[in-house]
Structure 1
Amino acid sequence: MSAILTLVANREATSLTPQDITLASTLAAGGETTILSPGEAVDIACAPLTPAQIDAIRLALTDRAVDVLYGPSENRRRKILVADMDSTIVANETLDDIAAHAERIRPGIGEEVAAVTRRSMNGEIDFQTSLRNRVAFLRDLPASLLEDAWKDVKINPGARTLVQTMKAHGAATALVSGGFTWFTARVGAACGFAENHANILNVAGDTLEGTVGEPILGPDAKLQHLIRIAATAGAPLSAALTIGDGANDLPMLRAAGLGIGFHAKPVVRREIVNRIEHGTLRTALFAQGYRASELVEG
């Protein structure tokens, strides 16, 4: 069979059962199954499936906290990883966190910034414009807010494992964010990304200027970084894994051989077939056929 359906259970909520596997296999007219992680992840060989068929399998398992991923059976292990940062590699929206800490200085700024972020990530407003507008709220605030926000940053479960496992198997890795280099440099180092790219938040002395360096790294720039990294690695875009949650990730998610929406916004869920909706970033490794014994824990 030329395709693989992968089921991955959220280990904190449930365990993958024989009944889950049988149900999915029946709906996919599947064949041989391969256990990747007992009670957590399994591959099911199948013929090519349509997005509607994949969604039907996902719907059938929706109460089981089981993610459903799908792809060709050949060349599953990707040679490139390009990941978004905010709400993907980390649990935070770092710009929102800066604004939240600024509440003690300018009451109301936190929700004002967060509201624009929500609209931007769901594709309701242009990313570049929204970023400029959100950063403008920070004008003349102390740069120490960056350190305050950094203390709140939580790296998502499985992030280090995803990066370290793919690096150990020769993949090029990059953190590419519409956020700020101030954070991507730290998060990239903590996870082990080979490179990181983001926007520059302008600071004058100890004060935020309320502006961002141009040109802004937005959705098109994320895609261009993916194309550049693939060219440098001498690999086609089909050999890439990209992962993100918002509208500004869509171009790179569409272009990669395996684009995964991670606990994604509705605009991403409507378009991207492969999604992690229940589990951690480990799921992206099982989607490539890695067994639990092969994972490099971060």
Structure 2
Amino acid sequence: MAHFFSGNARFSYTDFINYMQQSTFHTYACQSQQWSASQSSSSSAPVVTVVTDNPNAHIIESIISTLAEQVTCEQVYVHAMSEHLGATGICISVDRLPEHALVTQLSDKFHVEIFAQEAQPMLTEPGVLVMDMDSTVIQIECIDEIAKLCGKGEEVSAVTELAMQGKLDFAESLLQRVQCLAGIDIKHLAQIRDSIPLMPGIYTLLQHLQAHGWTTAIASGGFTYFAEYLQARLGLDMVVANELGQENGLLTGTINGPISDAQTKADTLNHLVAERQIPHEQTIALGDGANDLVMMAHAKLGMAYHAKPLVQEKATAAIRFGGLENTLFALRAN
């Protein structure tokens, strides 16, 4: 039987969710503005997932009506992870993907995450997740924090910003910034390490992935001093980063060994996939900067996190408002 939301009910989270729970799958007819229960569609169909704290009929109907200008919207259903997380995911199966510009426009208009994917990795099957560290797993850029200790914070931060936008060669800019750190006592790094603010949702994301046998790792253009600490704290399987040169307890302003750069990140993902014999369909690369794009291109799901527009455009999907746990809504869980 068809259902029609009217009046305040169209803006009610409770009314919408109560209706959606009456049946697993639904359809929405834009012209009549009516909802009805339906049969399941193919699990291989492309999907658009809307993630928000308080979905209601008005938001979802508006998004479906706008998407219908480019694609055919089929079944609508609640993502299975909604009962485990603070937000709700509403999945819309479609015949093809909408344009990136339309997804961004709708995301901005309703202040919701929207992921448009050809296919989704399976949460309940083992996979590989490789993450950037600075401004992804943690809320800071470690090199900027170290530079503040010697009064060069603004200078180094400006170079970091340009590097993350892809406007500078990463290796060259890293060496330039590291030179500024010469003479800093290693003991001061502990102050930064012990007060590192983790990114919201990182524990929740890792908890669910690790519970299902996923391999989790950091591949960073940052430093091993902090990455190895995070490996122990978060129970990660592997970390790859740059080793700061030191002598007599002081930083030398150099990097020991090869530089960990964009290609290193992709190589780390590929190494873990081969070592663990994980299919490509079960891979995620998570990052925020231009030097994460190579890694993202090698993964089935390249997830941009609060990233620059260039990175959002080239990624498979982008978290623009919420925490890292929203990555789970880009995986199939039912």
Give the TM-score of the pair, scaled to structure 2.
0.79
Query: What is the alpha-carbon distance in structure 1 between the residues aligned to residue 263 and residue 103 of structure 2?
Result: 33
Q: Which residue of 2 aligns with 1:69?
A: 115
Q: Which residue of 1 aligns with 2:90?
A: 42
Could you tell me which of 80, 83, 95 is aligned with 2:131? 83
2:277 aligned with 1:234, yes or no?
A: yes
2:308 aligned with 1:260, yes or no?
A: no
Q: Which residue of 1 aligns with 2:196?
A: 153
Q: Which residue of 1 aligns with 2:26?
A: none
Could you tell me which of 52, 64, 69 is aligned with 1:25? 64
Name the SS of the counterpart of 2:50 in structure 1. strand
Does the CA-based 8 Å contact 1:8-1:279 persist in structure 2?
no
Deviations along 1:34-53, one digit per CA (max 9) or x if unpaired, are 21327622211111214x2x
Q: Map 1:45-124 onto structure 2 (within 5 A).
A: 45-50=93-98, 52=99, 54-73=100-119, 75-77=121-123, 79-103=127-151, 109-124=152-167
2:238 aligned with 1:195, yes or no?
A: yes
Query: What is the alpha-carbon distance in structure 2 between the residues aligned to residue 290 and residue 96 of structure 1?
Result: 38
Does the CA-based 8 Å contact 1:261-1:272 persist in structure 2?
yes
Gaps of at least 5 residues in structure 2 are 1-41
Give the TM-score of the pair, scaled to structure 1.
0.88
Query: What is the alpha-carbon distance in structure 2 between the residues aligned to residue 180 and residue 259 of structure 1?
Result: 23
Query: What is the alpha-carbon distance in structure 2 between the residues aligned to residue 41 and residue 253 of structure 1?
Result: 23
Q: Which residue of 2 aligns with 1:294?
A: none
Does the CA-based 8 Å contact 2:127-2:283 persist in structure 1?
yes
Query: What is the alpha-carbon distance in structure 1 between the residues aligned to residue 153 and residue 249 of structure 2?
Result: 21
Deviations along 1:146-171, one digit per CA (max 9) or x if unpaired, are 11222441111111111121111111
Percent identical: 31
Q: Which residue of 1 aligns with 2:206?
A: 163
- Name the count of aligned residue pairs: 280
Gaps of at least 5 residues in structure 1 are 104-108, 292-298
Query: What is the alpha-carbon distance in structure 1 between the residues aligned to residue 231 and residue 111 of structure 2?
Result: 29
Q: CA RMSD, aligned part only?
A: 1.8
Greater relative contact order (Cα < 8 A, sep 6+):
1
Structure having the higher Rg: 2
